[in-house]
Structure 1
């Protein structure tokens, strides 16, 4: 349900409406609090990427990062959804700005390859305390 919901929000609603659902806004590339749940984060990232490939790649990096962030939120895993840009020259020598989103857990990218090319513009951090064990 996460990927279709992300698709609807991104395609049909203004960013200001749903951006608050992404977490606490921070400039640049902010890291979420540390968590022992790194493997769960990689598993969720793999599941989202695999689902996207299965449906023909119709979901953007932002939609995938949103869905993975929501899935990890239900597992109480702190995340940082990072938005970045890249400016380069197009074929006609005009400047082209490209946008990209990636998801980080424990300072590591678990969804969306950042490479060295994109500059982080803002992050949306979701902090989740671990559930209390009885």
Structure 2
């Protein structure tokens, strides 16, 4: 079945979520690639050291929405042949969560390991947490959290 036919068969809500992800990922790409970090980092939320979770825990429905948002962002990235980095994916997903007033934490971390030629190599990674669970950018605890950007919303 063609991708277009599969898209047409999706629910209206799912289609809108995919289109939202498709619109936000290029914005995140532009910000990361073209603008200095200090110009846009404040838009990610309030910065705290290490890995922090939002103060308010989201409802079960919010957790399900977070999973759907994560899937939508990953699907669009796959359709774009993986052009977006983990930071871009986490930013777009966090913006989608913000629109739905779901508290989240975008975490930036690093990993230092030895390369094949025995040099130390530092790698960076971004992941997104909702309800103390990683919903995007799973890493099995290999990365050390450096900072978190929190977005807190009151439960309604």
TM range (shorter): over 0.9
1:96 aligns to what? 121
C-alpha root-mean-square deviation of aligned residues, in Å?
0.8
- CA–CA distance in 1 between the matches of 2:154 and 2:139? 27
For residues 24-43 of structure 1, what are the alpha-carbon distances to aligned partners after superposition, in whole Å with 9 as ceiling and x for unaligned? 00000000120101000000
Pairing of 1:40-119 with structure 2 (within 5 A): 40-119=65-144
Whether 1:3 aligns to 2:25 is yes
Structure 2: give runs of 5+ residues left out of the alignment.
Answer: 1-22
Structure 1: give runs of 5+ residues left out of the alignment.
Answer: none
2:3 aligns to what? none
- Please report the TM-score for the alignment, with normalisation by the length of structure 2: 0.82
| CA-CA distance at 1:114 after TM superposition | 2.2
Looking at secondary structure, tell me which structure has more helix per residue.
2
Structure of higher RCO (CA pairs closer than 8 Å, 6+ residues apart): 1
2:51 aligns to what? 29
| CA-CA distance at 1:129 after TM superposition | 2.3
**Secondary structure class of the residue paired with 2:94:** helix
Which range moves more in the overlay, 63-72 or 121-130? Answer: 121-130
- CA–CA distance in 2 between the matches of 1:128 and 1:51? 27
Between structure 1 and structure 2, the one with the greater Rg is 2
Pairing of 1:111-130 with structure 2 (within 5 A): 111-130=136-155
- Deviating 4+ runs (over 4 angstroms): none
- Please report the TM-score for the alignment, with normalisation by the length of structure 1: 0.95
